[in-house]
Structure 1
Amino acid sequence: MEIWSYIGIASVLLVAYKFLKRLGKGLPVLELMLLIAGLQWIIGPLIEYASPSLHYKYFMYVTQAEYMSFVVPAYLVFTVVIMLVIKKRVELPFKLDQLKAYSDYGLKIFLIGLFFDLFGGALPGALGFFAFILSNFKFVGAIILYYSESKKLKTLFYLVILYLLLTSILKGLFHDFILWSTFFYMFWSLKYKPSFSRILLTIIAGGVFVITLQTAKFAYRAQITDNYSGNKLALFMNLMASSFLVDETEVAELDDGVDSNVRLNQGWIISAVLDHIPNNQEHLNGTTIKDAIFSAILPRLLNPNKTKAGGRENFRRFTGLDISSGTSMGISIIGEAYGNFAAFGGILFMGFWGLFLGKVWLFLYAKIKQNIIFIAFIPLIFLQVIKAETELVVVLNHLVKSMIVVFLFIWFAKKHLMWNFNK
């Protein structure tokens, strides 16, 4: 392996250690983001280079030396900047038990989320994102209720996890289940302060579950999209058991030949960007960055040419690869950084992006000090930010718009609903 590959492995291991150490002491959302990015941008590609999947499309388009000489320095700058900015605000000196005073508010927030989860789809398309944010209030409410003195209200926290799992099984989409379960685990750790060994054991068990899920989910999707008429829950459980107990290759027959690492490896898309730009497409010099900023600031009504979410447009533009209109693939922020600014400029951009996210964290940290209930909204605000495969327009749009919705809701609750946050 190249020297940058070893440095990349070491940096991801360090981030993983930081994440584990801060569980139970803080809310390591940015550390989780860095860990996911490291796994998908560095570890997944290294596995692919060592043991190629031989898939006709999902392969590394450039050499390991070329790939790692850009991605690892960009990841290191991104990581170091964030760690330096937030280093004094990584632990939470706040007493989260104060949330038990807001159980009634937590229940109302939960019901708002449940309402929009059930009926938000009836709203016009222009309000779809607004409905999506409010539908996730059910998870915010569940976090607040987890600290309730009422056992019945506290039970809602666990019922929400079960509800999320069941809806994920019915839809065949498990990304949000994994992310929200991780967020819930952070709050569980803050409440019970588990030992490092217990955290490590839990994370390993969670990792085994996720790997098993990744192996089974494509086989599951293949069957339910083929007009499966049986019990979906039973089908899912059987495939999970098969994935855990038998060799992965036996389950992969229903998986179109795509192995687990292809699902982890975001690097094949990033490498396609490195291969396509500037050989077939000139660097975009910040065009998509500017579009993302305007899209985040202006609503579609005032910005009719606003970039659409889903990644199809940028994927084709940055990689030169074809993608069907029904498929969603993101080039990731690090791929977008290279496509706009080349290697050195892309590394600098990742530093600025890390600085921005660190400043946002400090801003929200100050808000939590003023009003403890804000801490329950943090996972919602960072829901898209922590996804390593997502491009800037999606991340920035969600980050800005969700913060606006949350702050407007808190203001409305204080001003018109007379909620008292000084209990």
Structure 2
Amino acid sequence: MNLNKVVFALIAFLTAAFFTTVDKMRMEEIMAIGLFVYFLLDFIDSIGKNYNILDIPILLALFQCMLMPIVVYHIYNDDTLVIALKYDMGITAERYYGFMFPAIVMMIIGMKLPPLLQVSYQQKFLQAIHSVKHYLVGKGNMGVLLIVIGIVANVMRDFIGGSMQYIAYLISMLLYVGVLYTYFSDHKQRFWYLVSGAVVIFLQALRKGVFGELVYVLLLAGLLMLLGKKISNLQKYGLAFVGFFAILILQSVKADYRAITWRGQGNQEQSNTGAFVTLIADRIAEPGRFFDLDLMFPTVNRFNQGMIVAKVLDHVPNRAPYAEGETIFKSLAATFVPRLLWPDKPMSGGHENMLRFTGFVIEGYSMNISPMGEAYGNYGVEGGIFFMLFYGLLFSLLIVVLMNYVKKRPTIILWFPILFLNSIQIETDILMCLNSLIKNMIFVAVVFWAADRFLRLKL
């Protein structure tokens, strides 16, 4: 038995036991805190040892759908302004946790069971990285080529419309993969190519004001880059602290930055980069705002995915019937049928699901009900909980299958960050998760085939 896991379980138990002394804390809330502490410690400990990609949606689900609702229920939920803006939870804690807690637990079981049955699961990732380094000896130009193609596609996205824009978006993802190919190669100038790629990625996020993709790519790619390296516990926890603080700062300035870049508010003489740096500096210079409950509510609200799921629980079946699997089957069909043959097939972005399952019309911004919300909206409490088990199994079994394919093509592991980029998120829906996952897999297969067929390159 892994001694670290025993220690983490003990720390999680003691943390949960402490919260039993807090008045009016529900047992589901206490257990959720314990689970989050355990998986967070285990995830941090795995840095450099394993590629626990599915720990990310587990931590996100516990944080966004359990911990943030705890904060709202106990601090903000009775505030008059919060209720007027409909940012309260909207239903009783008993009803919310009666569905959400077991649904997340079932998802965790689904995601963790196959890896637990695979004795060599962790070793496969380490062997894959070793094989990649060996394979890329003398092939550093592969990464450079992918970086160049990705940069060109990024530029072309601004001049392409319609369905071709999505294809250009997929090709632009080669920039991320090219950085990984270059990092694991022995290219003499790899440092400068890595810096160039990182700068382009950051400037792209800064120009569009969309940072979610940047955060997930950095996380997924960073964990790969660190795999197999000896990292001290101090470095691991320091890295985790800096990462969380950076995300907190970024989330707190995102709305203000978008107001400047998208709507032209603020100092017109200041560049986007200057505005971003100014906002970040202001947040760091005022650490007290992170302890002010009123000032922190917008950030808490943006993290609180549970608020939207609660709206689904309130709306269905009181004002709208259960979908009985309709939206999930449509999501599967929409993944494989092109819009040319199905003009009115479901659109990603959350607009349709928010209207159907919450009654809210969203325009000009993205908001979605999450896989848990869609599971309930289709199958109710018991059926939704059971569905989340299969949802978790889907991802874990897919990774097991891919890791078996790694034996034939070790570099496939370098494509994991774009394969799972959108599907491991919690604030989307099943259409977004399945659509991006399957289309990204098809895209990777096409790139491998095209590189071999036309360029004689075994990527």
TM-score bin (small chain) = over 0.9
Q: Percent of aligned pairs with the same residue?
A: 28
Match of 1:4 in 2: 28
CA-atom RMSD, angstroms? 2.2
Count of residues paired in the alignment: 419
- 1:45 corresponds, among 69, 94, 118, to 69
**1:340 to 2:378 alignment:** yes
SS in structure 2 at match of 1:203: helix
- 2:340 corresponds, among 274, 283, 301, to 301
Q: 1:248 & 1:234 partners in 2: Cα distance?
A: 23
Post-superposition Cα deviations, 1:89-126, rounded to whole Å, max 9, x if no partner, equal 24412214225323222221222211211113433412
SS in structure 2 at match of 1:387: coil
Post-superposition Cα deviations, 1:124-183, rounded to whole Å, max 9, x if no partner, equal 412222221111110001011012223422332233233222222222221112111112
Q: Greater CA deviation, 23-32 or 223-232?
A: 223-232
Match of 1:15 in 2: 39
- 1:231 corresponds, among 268, 271, 281, to 271
**1:311 to 2:347 alignment:** no
- 1:117 corresponds, among 154, 172, 184, to 154
The code of the aligned residue for 2:448 comes to I
Match of 1:181 in 2: 218
Contact 1:215/1:251 (CA < 8 Å) preserved in 2? Answer: no
Q: 2:195 & 2:216 partners in 1: Cα distance?
A: 15
**Stretches of structure 2 lacking an aligned partner (at least 5 in a row):** 1-24
**1:408 to 2:437 alignment:** no
Q: Which aligned pairs between 1:176-215 and structure 2 lie closer than 5 A?
A: 176-190=213-227, 192-215=229-252
- 1:76 corresponds, among 97, 105, 108, to 105
Say if 1:191 and 1:85 are closer, same or farther in 2 by CA, change over 3 A.
Answer: closer
Q: 2:306 & 2:107 partners in 1: Cα distance?
A: 17
Q: Greater CA deviation, 170-179 or 74-83?
A: 170-179
Distance apart, 1:360 and its partner CA: 1.0
Match of 2:91 in 1: 62
Q: Greater CA deviation, 61-70 or 98-107?
A: 98-107
Contact 1:219/1:251 (CA < 8 Å) preserved in 2? Answer: no
Q: 2:236 & 2:290 partners in 1: Cα distance?
A: 32
Contact 2:151/2:172 (CA < 8 Å) preserved in 1? Answer: yes
The code of the aligned residue for 2:368 comes to G
SS in structure 2 at match of 1:395: helix
Match of 2:172 in 1: 135
**1:262 to 2:301 alignment:** yes
Q: 2:86 & 2:62 partners in 1: Cα distance?
A: 22
Q: Which aligned pairs between 1:157-172 and structure 2 lie closer than 5 A?
A: 157-172=194-209
SS in structure 2 at match of 1:327: coil
Contact 1:384/1:395 (CA < 8 Å) preserved in 2? Answer: yes
The code of the aligned residue for 2:189 comes to K
Match of 1:85 in 2: 114
Post-superposition Cα deviations, 1:325-372, rounded to whole Å, max 9, x if no partner, equal 322211100000000000110011100111111111112112222112
SS in structure 2 at match of 1:51: helix
TM-score (norm 2): 0.86
Q: 2:291 & 2:219 partners in 1: Cα distance?
A: 26
**1:357 to 2:395 alignment:** yes
Say if 1:10 and 1:136 are closer, same or farther in 2 by CA, change over 3 A.
Answer: same
**Stretches of structure 1 lacking an aligned partner (at least 5 in a row):** none
Q: Greater CA deviation, 19-28 or 278-287?
A: 19-28
